[in-house]
Structure 1
Amino acid sequence: MFDGPATPPGLPVDAAGINLMTAAGRTAWRDGQASAAGIRRDGRVLNVDIVRAGAAQDCLIWRFSAAPGTDTLFDPSEIIDGAWGERMGEAGVMIALIGSEGRVRAANRPMVKRATGRGDAPIAGRDLASLLSSDSHGQTRFKLEGPLGTPLRLFTIPVAAEAENGPQLVALIDDDSLRAGEGADIPLQKLLAMLPLGLALADRDGRFLYMNQAFIRAANVAAGSTPVYPGDLVIRDDKTAVADAVRRFASGQTSSGDMSVRLRDRPDEPVALTMAGARGLGEAAVLLSLKDNTEESRLKREVAQATKMQAVGQLAGGVAHDFNNILTAIIGHCDLMLMRHTPGDSDYDDITQIRINSNRAAGLTRQLLAFSRQQTLRPQILQLPDVIAEVSHLLQRLLGETVTLAVNHGRALGSVRADPGQLEQVIVNLAVNARDAMPNGGTVTLQTYAVSAADVRKLGSDIMPVIDYTALRLSDTGTGIPPEILSKVFEPFFTTKEIGKGTGLGLSTVYGIVKQSNGFIFADSKEGVGTSFVIYLPVHKAEEPAQIEAPVKVEKPADLWGNETVLVVEDEDMVRTVAERALSRHGYTVLTASHGEEALEILGQGTQIDLLISDVVMPTMDGPTLVRHARERFPDLPILFMSGYAEEQLRKSIHIDRVAFLPKPFSVKQLAEAARDALAGTKPIIT
């Protein structure tokens, strides 16, 4: 107001004003406060209020204000902070009142927000020049917004009678036409802004001139942090390569090229940065493109995980198949030895122990086959609540006293087609894992609910067909699974439990059973909160209402002896020997062959064969090919396939009628029962 550091009453006002301030100052020293009105300065009428202050009451505070009824141009709070300033801001005009010394006296809210980042930040007394910046092209921007900020146009309006020394009103408006540099075209900027691709422009020195929103999202540029160079977006190791590429494209021909870079905030996921030389775009010399490949990376990880699981599954299935042959020989020889010993003999207990451990090993191979989706299933049409009801008593004992079991069933649940025994194993495995994750107790919740096709569509899953499902959710309140481990929980032999407390096959078995039942399973976990597994099984669609019935079991024949002639075809010598000795002990005449060609030679010798028992997978000629040739000559010949693979998988690949299956490993008794059933024309029960 007074152009300098003078203090009252010695201010540049008329003589009458000095007298008024002198008298008011004396009164304030005496009474503690005083006021004076009608002080004139350059055509303005001012009032002053004086208050004595300070710890020792030895200071005076002088407050000057425009007298009521004077020109409102001299009242910043009226023209800037009031409704008039707000109305100007809504029109896109930022205004500030600047003193002759260049400091801001007042500014409207849009001006304050753009200059300081906050609409309520204090701005009075700050130097206007410190809030603005200028580049080599003479373009002015807010310093806070950096070189990528929108250029500004400034207009000054004198508000005092003496324009040279009085305050000025400064108006600032955005000028988008200057954003990409001198000569840049407005339609180009609008085009880049509308394109869904991440695009940016850089000048010959490698500085960013423009970035559209897609580029900002792909580069994950944080709000308020404006990168100056493309190298600011990548990790330190890639900075030099990016800078060299920008300079090369800026000074070379109008060519393009790609390079793999790692962003600073995502160093583990390389992304493709495309550059091309730009000509005729003003200061813009390089066009950069960055693709937001977050979704693509996620899909690649899922495909890689699925491929890995499939490969591991094939390996597990092959190992289990070969191991089943070994277990068949071990269990068979144990059975043959037990026929020569009675309980109480010195060797009887040892042989029994060998057989028990062999059966335990057979259980592990069944888990491997379940993971590789090659396990024999007996699917039925059933309701999930019925399965949970059957296993709930077992769960109560497994979970213990410190863990509470809660069961909630939804309404209108569709029936599913699955093996009830295997579903019970799925529930038990998940419940046991939940119990182990809650050493101090907690709650395990089993919940069933219907999931419509519309709900599946909302889930946005890329792998689940859009059909109706019945879902089963098992959740706990345990310690949770770390994010870096969550993606590995379904892998075989992966376990976080202590040595001796887990094989790492529990969840892989669950995964295999669910997938073999045409379902899907997903895991979700938060550390310290708990873990939940959700299983989606497709609703079974039948032409007629399905009746849920218990499986009908074929009665075992009481007499396992026979006098028929049996041809056993098996490429594994140990399995062939066990089968030959087992059937011979039950009265059969047994012929053996090590492969399909040898079996055809035996069939062509004219010997009456009553039953053909054959392995499925054999070298030179497999079992199904052998059976097709045999059926051409003997159409009614009974066939019994023995295999370590699942019956369902074999039936899908073997289109032969009237064949029975016996899974490996099997005991001597099971082989005799299967042979008797095949000769009788009934399908053997596979356990």
Structure 2
Amino acid sequence: MTAQSLPSAETDFSRGAGPAGPLGARFNLSRVDLAVLGGLALLSVGLLFWATGNVVLAAGFLAGLAIAAGGALLARRLFPAAAAGEAALPDWTMLRVAVNHDDVAVAVTDRGGRLVCANDLFATWFGGFVTPPGLPVDARGAEALKNAGRTAWRDGEGVADDIAVGPLQLRAHIFRTGQAEDYLVWRFSANERIDLATEIVRHLDGPAGLTLAQAGVMAALVSAEGRLRSANRAFLLRALDEADQAHYVGRDVSAMLRLDEAGSLYFAREGDRATPVRMIQIPLAPADAHGPVLLAMLDEEIGPADRGTAQAYVETLLSLLPFGLALVDRDGRFLYMNRAFKRAGNVGEGRMPRYPGDLVVGEDKGPLADMIRRHSSGQQVGGDLSIRLVGQGDDPVSMRVVGVRGLGEAAVLLSLKDSSEESRLKRQVAQASKMQAVGQLAGGVAHDFNNILTAVLGSCDLMLMRHTPGDSDYDDIQQIRSNANRAASLTRQLLAFSRQQTLRPQILQLPDVISEVSHLLKRLIGDTVQLSVHHGRGLGPVRADPGQLEQVIINLAVNARDAMPGGGTLTIETYPVSAADVRQMGSEFMPPADYSALKVSDTGTGIPADVLPKIFEPFFTTKDVGKGTGLGLSTVYGIIKQSAGFIFADSKPGETSFTIYLPVHRAEHGAPATPTPVSKPKKSQWGTGTILLVEDEDMVRAVAERALARAGYTVVTASQGEEGLERFAGMEKVDLVVSDVVMPTMDGPAMVREMRKKRPALPVLFMSGYAEEQLRQSINIDDVAFLPKPFSVAQLAEAVSAALDNAAHRASNG
């Protein structure tokens, strides 16, 4: 794992000499130092003259000193990099290595708000190298980050809590640093999910505390200030009067105990006849932080023979606690581990490892053994060590090692934190961030492609109008148009994956959709593959785009066919899934509700386990080069997600299945039934009127202008929103505005709002390479038509004619 940095930011760091001037900076000497050296030189010359009386010798010595000083100064000026005391350029490779951390995300920004350096965990949590505080977090977290950044610039340090990134809760700590204090270091750490102190309080006040009391173990939870937070009945009976038991919280524990001259510990209330007790302290916070401590006290008998009984009491205590704890002797062998430790350490039932090193990978055995040896030889303070467990991949877990005394053979207490849930959430956030980033990229690429394809298709249509079948160029133009349409289908797949396509949902029954597409499936899968269809009873209706749902079934069927080159069986099933069934499934993603399920299975070779998690990623394919784009399953994934459904893949040798769950559509009481779409009469491709055409892409604007002028319209063009407003202000009559949505400086919706301030009923036709559903949220303008790119000349003419007809209809009814 390597930290990332932005090389260009390194040029912003200071490299110049200090304010002492060139000479002082080169030699690190002040003016006083230079004066002293000059005086010493003159004194030396005077002493030489006094001793020899030779004026020529003294003058020669003075000239030699001057030549030496001049030579040193000249060398310093010719070779400034070798000057002593010159500040060397900072070695930022050390910073890049230093910010690598598996639990803390780190980023460094300069005063100009530029990202200087960040580690890989930062990119994983936030979906890339995004500059703080502009991170993809919720609104409350974004405001907290901004305020914490301002506080850090002002006071040197700032803190922001409860920063939500999906399911991950983070805490941000920001520091101002640097020689000129012109950098901010942003540190993000995950909040602990288990409050150990709260869990212990709950157990001490419940049956677990009573069980310990019956076993003779006096247990208490003490705050960092030495105040009592909770205790079981055995501790309260020994430390306090019964009448005071209801008011013990917040009392000073040190006042309840006393030490005699021999170092024995007693309860102060019991006086001279008190029985000595042995106390075990279990810190619940890192060694360098003040936190609550769990105290376990046992009666100290006369001799050391009863220490085994004390150890048995402690083992009883450890078995009741909800977090993983184990005891190790001075030779590093396990004495005891509770169930939580076995579960966190992946220890099977009935199997007791001999050494802690048996639980970790080979590279971590040495550091763990050294740490246990160091704590068993007398070190009382605990320490944390990041280790990797055998059979649990490369995800590290945290093990805490604490030295204990007074438990016979037991010398070290190990605490193992089960971080599997946290690791799973990290992987889930990383996967979601990656899919979101790739989806945004795919949507942007599709938009640019749609502009290009609009110009290609429009040019082909215009050329075809000048040629007839049989001309030498006609077939070539048709071939270009066919290839452009194929490219347009690829952009639709990209929009489907990024969930930005325009869907036309209807109320459907899954068996009806399968029936419509079954004839096509039989031709696609060939004669060597047998198609088997089974429908369950009681299927609820679903709301989806029938065309897109058919595309999903076809894609899954074609993939199944390719997985069975020697033939096999393709099975399509539909069945209902109730909310109770979803709860029994224990899915982490599907909320309990009623679903209609569609399952597509095949008897092919199966999907390898290392490939299965990647199959829905775009451009990932296991097919040979030229035989697949890698967009089939990613398109399926996008369509199902955009339809509020879920899709899961399961594979084993000889059987692969894709199961789709679509929520059952419940019509609201009293809501009108969804009308069946009727085919509208085809609009004329000819018309009259004045059209203002605003489009920032020159090639698209030129094709649209020629197409509309050929259809009989008077066309006035503009290349951006401000120019469109100028053209509109100078035109006496505008029958329709045809505008792109996304344009630089002023977009289409902003331009139309300004125009409608003068003409509220102005007809508008928007065109864009983005999906209509995505743009409707940003357009938010009534009575506008939409034409998706890429479009042909005929589609543009029909859309303009329909927009003019609708405007005339509204005017006549108004």
User: TM-score, normalization: structure 2?
Assistant: 0.60
Distance 1:253 1:631, change over 3 A: farther
Q: Distance in 1 between matches of 2:661 and 2:405?
A: 56
Question: Relative to structure 1, is the Cα distance of residues 416 and 209 closer, same or farther in structure 2, using a 3 angstrom cutoff?
Answer: same
8 Å Cα contact 1:203-1:286 kept in structure 2: yes
Letter of the structure 1 residue corresponding to residue 503 of structure 2 = L
* Deviations 1:157-198 (CA, angstroms, capped at 9, x unpaired): xxxxxxxxxxxxxxxxxxxxx999646343321121122211
SS in 2 for 1:522: strand
SS in 2 for 1:266: coil
Aligned-residue sequence identity (percent) comes to 70
Q: Once the 2 structures are TM-superposed, how far is the Cα of residue 256 of structure 1 from its aligned partner? A: 3.4
Deviations 1:638-666 (A, max 9, x none): 11111111112222333211111111111
| Equivalent AA in structure 1 for residue 779 of structure 2 | I
Corresponding residue number in structure 2 for 1:377: 503
Partner residue in 2 for 1:359:
485
Hey, what's the Cα distance between the residues in 2 that align with 1:184 and 1:569?
86
Counterpart in 2 of 1:284?
A: 410
Q: Which consecutive residues of structure 1, in runs of 5 or more, have no partner in the other structure?
A: 1-177
Q: Does 1:617 align with 2:742?
A: yes
- Alignment partners' CA distance in 1, 2:729 and 2:380: 79
Q: Is residue 600 of structure 1 aligned with residue 717 of structure 2?
A: no
Match of 1:214 among 336, 340, 345: 340
CA contact (8 A) 2:596 2:662 kept: yes
> Which letter does structure 1 place at the counterpart of 2:401?
M
Deviation at 1:421, TM superposition (A): 0.6
User: For residues 546 and 482 of structure 1, do their structure 2 counterparts lie closer, same or farther at Cα, with a shift above 3 Å needed?
Assistant: farther
The SS at the match of 1:258 is strand
Of 662, 665, 679, 1:540 maps to 665
CA distance in 2, matches of 1:180, 1:193: 20
Shift of the 539–268 alpha-carbon distance from structure 1 to 2, 3 Å rule, reads same
Are 1:480 and 2:616 counterparts? no
Query: Mapping of 1:503-542 within 5 angstroms?
Result: 503-527=629-653, 529-542=654-667
Task: Report SS of the residue matched to 2:614.
Answer: coil
Match of 2:566 among 424, 437, 440: 440
* Residue 340 (1) aligns with residue 466 (2): yes
Please show how residues 421-500 of structure 1 align to structure 2 within 5 Å.
421-500=547-626
Q: C-alpha displacement at 1:547, in angstroms?
A: 5.0
Residue identity in the other structure for 1:575: V
Q: Deviations over 1:387-438 (max 9, x none)?
A: 0110111111112222111111111111111000110010011011111111
Following TM superposition, by how much is the alpha carbon of 1:524 offset from its aligned partner in structure 2, in angstroms?
0.3
Mapped pair 1:228 → 2:354: yes
The 1:201/1:409 distance shift into structure 2, 3 A limit, reads same
Aligned to 1:649: 774
Matches of residues 555-634 of structure 1 in structure 2 within 5 Å?
555-557=681-683, 559-634=684-759
CA distance, structure 2, for counterparts of residue 504 and residue 398 of structure 1: 19
The 3 A distance-change label for structure 1 pair 343 and 480 is same
Structure 1 residues 179, 426: closer, same or farther in 2, change over 3 A?
Answer: farther
Q: Number of residue pairs matched?
A: 504
> For the residues of structure 1 that align with 2:687 and 2:737, how far apart are their CA atoms?
15
2:777 aligns to what SS in structure 1? helix
Q: Distance in 1 between matches of 2:625 and 2:807?
A: 46
User: Partner residue of 2:90?
Assistant: none
Cα distance, 1:179–1:600 mapped onto 2, change above 3 Å: farther
CA contact (8 A) 2:307 2:406 kept: no
Cα distance in 2 for partners of 1:445, 1:316 equals 32
CA distance in 2, matches of 1:365, 1:180: 78
Aligned mates of 1:602, 1:262 — CA distance in 2: 68
Q: Decide whether aligned partners of structure 1 residues 179 and 545 sit closer, same or farther in structure 2, where only a CA change above 3 A counts.
A: farther
Q: Is the 8 A contact 1:180 1:210 kept in 2?
A: no
Report what 1:255 is aligned to. 381
- Based on CA coordinates, which of the two structures has the bigger radius of gyration? 1
Which residue identity does 1:588 align to in structure 2?
Answer: Y
Partner of 2:610, secondary structure, is: helix
Deviations 1:470-504 (A, max 9, x none): 11111111111111101111111111112222111
1:315: how far off?
0.8
Equivalent in the alignment of 1:312: 438
The 2-side partners of 1:580 and 1:501 are apart by: 39
Query: Distance in 2 between the 1:545 and 1:524 partners?
Result: 39
Q: For residues 164-243 of structure 1, what are the structure 2 equivalents within 5 Å?
A: 182=308, 184-222=310-348, 225-243=351-369
Q: Cα–Cα, structure 1 residues 189 and 681, in superposed 2: closer, same or farther, change >3 Å? A: same
Q: Is the 8 A contact 1:564 1:588 kept in 2?
A: yes
Task: Find the aligned partners of 1:253 and 1:609 in 2 and give their Cα distance.
Answer: 87
Query: CA 1:456/1:673 → structure 2, altered by over 3 Å: closer, same or farther?
Result: same
Instruction: Tell me the alpha carbon deviations over residues 567-590 of structure 1, each in whole angstroms, 9 at most, x when there is no partner.
Output: 111111111111111111111111
SS at match of 1:487: helix
Tell me how far 1:252 sits from its aligned partner. Answer: 5.7
Whole-angstrom distance in 2 between the partners of 1:541 and 1:594: 47
Q: CA offsets per residue over residues 135-162 of structure 1, 9 Å max, x none?
A: xxxxxxxxxxxxxxxxxxxxxxxxxxxx
Whether contact under 8 Å (2:499, 2:642) holds in the other structure is yes
1:350 to 476, 495, 512: 476
Counterpart among 798, 801, 810 of residue 676 in structure 1: 801
Consecutive unaligned residues in structure 2, runs of 5 or more: 1-303, 809-814
In the TM superposition, 1:44-123 aligns within 5 A as none
